[in-house]
Every structure is written in C-alpha cells, then in structure tokens.
C-alpha cells in the first residue's frame, strides 16, 4: 500500500513537471499562403483591403527583404521543411510526383509530361534526399511539440509519418494534450494561380480601374480584370486569416504564440510565379512576437532556408550542422547578416531551363545556362489565365512596347545585371555597363562560392540524377528496423542509413494506416501491455513493412 502511495505521488510529480515544462515552451504557427507578392498595405500597396492582416502587421516584425529559393511551389516548400537549398538536395525540378497534400498519394504510376534538358522523359517519382536531411519538425516532436500540418505538403517527396502528429484537412492544435506546446502550419490556397480561372464567376471586390499595373503589362480590359481578380482573392484570404486568429484568441493562445505569415513565392500573374527576378522570388513575410508586440520594419535579407533554423531557435533547440539557413530570431539567432540571397530555376512542369540569381540590397545578378532558350517559359498550366494568352497574342502581333516585350525575348544574354532602386522590375540589363564592373564581379563570385559551398547539382541531367536515386527505375525501400523488448522497455534501431522510426502503441490488434497517429521514436519506450507497431521511413524511400509485437 505504501509503495502504491509513493508510485502515485511520483506520477503526479512527473505530470506536474511535464505540464510546467510544456507551458514554458512557445507555440508557433506558420500561416503559409500561395502565390502572392508583397502587394499588401504594410508594403505600400493598399489596393486590396486587408483589415485582419493590417491588424496583425501592427504588432509584427515586417521583413522587407524576404525571398523564396525558387519561384514555384514544390521546390520552395522543400526548402521550408528541410532548411536546405533545393539545388543541393535534388528537389529543384517542378514537380516530380503527386505527393501534394497530406501524406501524399505515394503512387508513382501514371503519365508525366516532364522532359529534361537532354529530351529524356522523366517518370513520376519521389526525390531521395541525402541521408542527413530530415523534416525539421522531427526535432520539435522529439522535444515534446505537437506538430500539425493543414494540409498542403508538396515537398517533392512523400511526407513521412515522423514529420507530423496530424497531417490532413482536420489537423489542428486543438487535438494536442493539455498545455502541450505546438507547431502548426495552416496553408491557404485561395490566392493560388488556379483561382485566377476557378474564381471567374465570383464577383470582383476590387475595381478594375483602380488596380496598379507594372510596366511590363499592357493596359487592356483583360489584364485589368485579371489583376483585379488577384487583389480580390487577397481580400478573400484576409478573411480566412482573420478566422484563424479568432480561433487562437478564443483558445487563449494569441499572446502565447509566434505567428509567421508568408507566401510560398511571388504572385500568380505573368512574369511573377516561376520568375527568378524579384517578381517571382520576393515574398511578404511578417512575424508577430507575442512578447514584443509592436510594428517594426526589418530590412535584413531573409531566405526560405532560414525558416526552419529560426523555428528551432525560438524553441531553444540546437540547429543541425547540415542546415544551410541561419536563424534570424530566437536563442540561436545568427549575428552574421546576409550580403546576398540566392535563387534558382530549372524545370517547370514540361518546360526546362537553368537559371541562377543573386540578389543583394542594391542589385540583381542573373546567370543563364541556356542562352538559346527563350526567356518566356511556355508552361501550359498558366495558359488557363486569360491575360497570359492575350499578352502572348499581342506579342506575336507586335503590339507590345519594349518593356512588355522584354519577357518574350527569344534568346538571353549569358548574364544579366539590374539596379534595383532604378529598375525595380528588372527591365534594363546593364551587364555590359562598365560602371558596374566591380559589382558584377562581386555577384558573379558570390554565385560561384555559393554553388561550391552547397554543391549545386543543377548541371546534372534530371534523368541521370533520377537513375542514381531510383536504380533501374525502382524506388528504394527502408529496411525493417530491429525492435527489442526487455524489462517492458522497447528499443528500436534503424537498418537504413538516414531513416527515422515511428511507432503506435495500442490495446487492440488492428491494421494501422498513415492517419493513425504515429509517434516519433527518439528514445526507448516503456510499455506494459498491448501491441506495438513500428515502421521505418526515409525521405524519398518507400516505407518499410510494419512490425507488430504483442507485449
């Protein structure tokens, strides 16, 4: 009886300690939105009325120099989840498979329209990353965080069960244990490129005559209608963000949670998304610090590879050595500011090119590897946008001015160079201007050093790279892990380099699925009775067979 009393006291003590530990850790939310440039009031563009984002901005750090790594969904999202550059880990081609939402289809049969630089057909596949590369949420889960994703993944590889506690349209912080800290991603696609045509029947809430047009757009009714549609979609987005913030407040979490807001890349209109200039790479980004609630503009250059280390830094966790980004907030904040951010472009769906860009505070340097390929990428997907087809027709009819024609040039110079303050839309190539010779050399050398440092594999054909990842066209598979049980303690050991392990403990004998709440294995587990199910997984690999042990 006395032993039972002591055991209960110890249990209460450990639960109390766990609750205190949980409460001391900050919550973090990423609000990721799709396909918008910094066309918001906090960046000086009040065309769209966004009261909820304005209120959030009034208490946030607003980053004026935030950039994605690639101006399109999948590669940029691979940077976010790994803290690595796509051209370093092989996720730089857009898109490789159908693993877009939740746990992904994990099915690589079917037709792919992808063709690499040599004309070789590229089948659907999941990218196999280097063995040290993990979804950074594994480090959070090992620290006791409840991690949820709602619900787009689109990493170029299937999301492993070790990455998320929940990964679906129902994923939410509400499902965690009491006081458990959480990291939650909510993705809103109402501003996605596809909504330019899927929302054609919706009323415009922004007047066509009031929208600003960049100099590379002709002033036509079709163009104004599509630009107004983009701003109208942003207004719809604002309402969705407002509803999410209301949920945080209702749960008493608003002043206990870091809120990140950013877009995955530039806007959906022609010369935005998929571009390697500011129009494709520059994004809105703000962070509400619950402990310092005031507006402050930050002009430090931020890259998407910095988001993962910054999130770990805010939780006090160490940043893995293989990460290529730098923390810009938190305990592990880097004191080294960026002189440059780097962008890349390779295959976009069925269209191939290879471009690298270097952006400093004052200049943009671009290197084109295929000068005989046109600057305009004739991607079929964006031809669903009315203005895309109209502008292409006007170009063929020679009815565009020089700024509007620039995107359609049929060959490119080996290098390009632009002065951002004088030419914010990158329309005047000054690569031959002797006044900038020193700066051009600096940017040229910065690109070379960066490519050497991260091991840019873009020169390797996609077919050759695929053959190295999937030998003989067969996806590699994680081996079953070794599971030992001794004194009611379960120990799991991987047999595949780079793999992680997950488990489920259940009182019942059943057939587990991806949605059944797999836990990340990171230390031996105490289990008294029931069943334990174990699986091994590595990014790009097929999951191992599930091991079932009755305890």
Just list the catalytic residues. Answer: 73
> For residue 39, how far is the Cα from the chain centroid?
20
Tokens of 242: 């407002």
In the three-class reduction of DSSP (H, G, I as helix; E, B as strand; rest coil), residue 251 is classed as coil
Q: How far apart are CA 108 and CA 97, in angstroms?
A: 7
Long-range CB pairs of 416-423, under 8 A, 24+ apart, other chains included? 416/364, 416/365, 416/366, 416/368, 417/363, 417/364, 417/365, 417/366, 417/443, 418/277, 418/363, 418/364, 418/366, 419/362, 419/363, 420/278, 420/359, 420/361, 420/362, 420/363, 420/364, 421/362
Q: How far apart are CA 100 and CA 107, in angstroms?
A: 12
The H or E element containing residue 519 is strand 519-520
Q: Which residues lie across from 501 on neighbouring strands?
A: 536
Phi, psi of 302 (to 5 degrees): -120, 135
Site of tokens 């006291």: 9
Phi, psi of 475 (to 5 degrees): -65, 130
Q: How far apart are CA 79 and CA 127, in angstroms?
A: 13
Tokens of 470: 């999937």
Strand order in the sheet with 363-368: 341-345, 355-359, 363-368, 415-419
CB contact at 8 A, 45 and 280: no
> For residue 465, how far is the Cα from the chain centroid?
22
Burial label for 468, CB within 10 Å (0-12, 13-18, 19+), is exposed
Per-position DSSP letters for 15-70, written without gaps between them: HHHHHHHHHTSPEEEEEEESS--S-SGGGT--SS--HHHHHHHTTSEEEEEEE-SB
Q: What is the dihedral of CA 175, 180, 183, 187, to 10 degrees?
A: 20
Q: Which residues lie across from 496 on neighbouring strands?
A: none
* Strand residue runs (E) in 289-376: 296-298, 302-303, 341-345, 355-359, 363-368
CB contact at 8 A, 354 and 371: no
């Amino acid at each position: 009886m006395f032993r039972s009393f002591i055991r209960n006291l110890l249990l209460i003590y450990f639960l109390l300690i766990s609750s205190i530990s949980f409460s001391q850790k900050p919550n973090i939310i990423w609000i990721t939105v799709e396909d918008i440039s910094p066309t918001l009031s906090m960046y000086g563009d009040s065309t769209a009325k966004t009261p909820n984002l304005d209120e959030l901005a009034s208490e946030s750090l607003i980053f004026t120099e935030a950039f994605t790594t690639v101006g399109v969904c999948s590669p940029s999202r691979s940077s976010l989840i790994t803290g690595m550059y796509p051209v370093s880990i092989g996720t730089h081609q857009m898109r490789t498979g159908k693993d877009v939402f939740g746990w992904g289809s994990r099915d690589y049969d079917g037709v792919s329209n992808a063709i690499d630089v040599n004309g070789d057909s590229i089948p659907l596949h999941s990218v196999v990353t280097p063995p040290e590369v993990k979804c950074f949420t594994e480090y959070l889960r090992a620290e006791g965080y409840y991690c949820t994703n709602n619900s787009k993944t689109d990493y170029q590889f299937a999301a492993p069960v070790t990455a998320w506690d929940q990964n679906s349209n129902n994923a939410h912080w509400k499902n965690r244990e009491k006081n458990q800290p959480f990291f939650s991603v909510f993705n809103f696609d109402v501003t996605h490129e596809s909504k330019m045509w899927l929302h054609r029947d919706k009323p415009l809430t922004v007047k066509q005559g009031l929208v600003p047009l960049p100099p590379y757009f002709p002033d036509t009714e079709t163009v104004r209608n599509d630009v107004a549609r983009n701003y109208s979609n942003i207004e719809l987005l604002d309402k969705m963000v407002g509803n999410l913030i209301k949920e945080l407040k209702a749960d008493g979490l608003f002043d206990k949670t870091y809120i990140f807001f950013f877009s995955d890349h530039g806007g959906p209109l022609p010369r935005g998304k998929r571009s390697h200039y500011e129009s494709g790479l520059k994004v809105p980004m703000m962070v509400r610090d619950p402990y310092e609630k005031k507006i402050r503009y930050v002009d430090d250059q931020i890259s998407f590879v910095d988001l993962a280390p910054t999130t770990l830094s805010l939780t006090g966790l160490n940043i893995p050595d293989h990460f290529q980004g730098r923390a810009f907030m938190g305990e592990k904040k880097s004191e080294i500011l960026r002189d440059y951010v780097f962008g890349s472009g390779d295959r976009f769906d069925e269209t191939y090119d290879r471009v690298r860009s270097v952006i400093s505070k004052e200049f943009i340097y671009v290197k084109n590897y295929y000068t005989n390929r046109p600057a305009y990428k004739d991607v079929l997907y964006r031809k669903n946008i009315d203005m895309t087809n109209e502008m292409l027709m006007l170009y063929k009819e020679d009815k565009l001015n020089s700024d509007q024609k620039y995107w359609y040039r049929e060959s490119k110079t080996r290098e390009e160079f632009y002065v951002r303050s004088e030419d914010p839309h990158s329309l005047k190539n000054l690569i031959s201007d002797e006044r900038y010779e020193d700066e051009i050399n600096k940017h040229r050398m910065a690109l070379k050093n960066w490519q050497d440092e991260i091991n840019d594999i873009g020169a390797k054909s996609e077919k050759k790279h695929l053959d190295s990842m999937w030998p003989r066209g067969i996806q590699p598979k994680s081996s079953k892990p070794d599971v030992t049980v001794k004194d009611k303690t379960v120990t799991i050991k991987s047999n595949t380099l780079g793999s992680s392990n997950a488990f489920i403990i259940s009182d019942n004998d059943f057939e587990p699925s991806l949605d059944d709440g797999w836990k990340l294995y990171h230390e031996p587990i105490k289990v008294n009775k029931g069943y334990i199910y174990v699986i091994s997984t590595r990014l790009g690999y097929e999951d191992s067979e599930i091991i079932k042990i009755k305890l």
